[in-house]
Amino acid sequence: MISIAIALLVGVPLGISAAVHQGSWMDNICMFIALVGVSMPTFWVALMLVILFALKLGWLPAMGIGGIQYYILPCIANSFGGIATQARQARSSMLEVIRSDYITTARAKGVSEHKVIYGHALPNALIPIVTVAGSNLAHMFGGSLIIEQVFSIPGIGTYMITAVNSRDYPVVEGCVIFLAITFSIMMLLVDLAYAYIDPRIKAQYEGGKGGH
């Protein structure tokens, strides 16, 4: 959950900045970061973070569990790919909305650029962004299994891989079912968020229910 929060809090503003400043150096930097993030596998990012911040600089612990400092590198490593995909999707969605007629009308009426972007454009671009966030959640679930191995975190990923190596099939089945249920609940929450983001979806559902 921390990883998906980091991906949203960093990736979405990056994508919005890239869309607002399309074609500028800021757009190029944001998209370069997104391209690098999409290209690098999670385990490689984790290893590079350990080498840089734990071995070279000595700022953070390389493995184990303890205080909050032990979870900084794992969360960053697990969210790096999510940041990239969220930035790309946010940029694409915002560019599509910014070119709409009602945005041009709002600007012509003298509405401030901040209100145009965050009050008019962003709410209408949220559904694709939330959809990508849901798919990112699945990738982060899978990535957490590797992250726990790299940072020696005794979580469900380590437990599951140990069970696989020892051929403890009931434990493997239990872990898979648990992850599947957790992911299904999160995707349900994503679907429910659609109705909150776009009242038209809620009205359509309520209208269909009333018709029955």
Residue pLDDT, tens place only, 38-87: 788 888 888 888 888 888 887 887 777 777 888 888 888 888 888 888 88
In this predicted structure, what is the pLDDT of residue 206?
61
* CATH number of the domain bearing residue 156: 1.10.3720.10
In this predicted structure, what is the pLDDT of residue 203?
62
Mean pLDDT of 80-96: 84
In this predicted structure, what is the pLDDT of residue 210?
53
Instruction: Please give the residue range of the domain that contains residue 66.
Output: 2-211
Give just the sign of the alpha carbon dihedral 71, 77, 186, 202: positive
Number of domains comprising the chain: 1
Query: pLDDT, tens digit, for every residue of 146-202?
Result: 787 778 777 777 778 888 888 888 888 888 888 888 778 877 887 777 777 766 666
Q: Is residue 211 predicted with pLDDT exceeding 60?
A: no
Task: With cut-offs at 50, 70 and 90, classify the pLDDT of residue 18.
Answer: confident
Question: What would the two tokens of residue 194 be?
Answer: 């659609």
Range among 11-15, 22-26, 36-40 rated most confident: 11-15
In this predicted structure, what is the pLDDT of residue 39?
80
Mean pLDDT of 127-133: 81
In this predicted structure, what is the pLDDT of residue 159?
78
In this predicted structure, what is the pLDDT of residue 193?
76
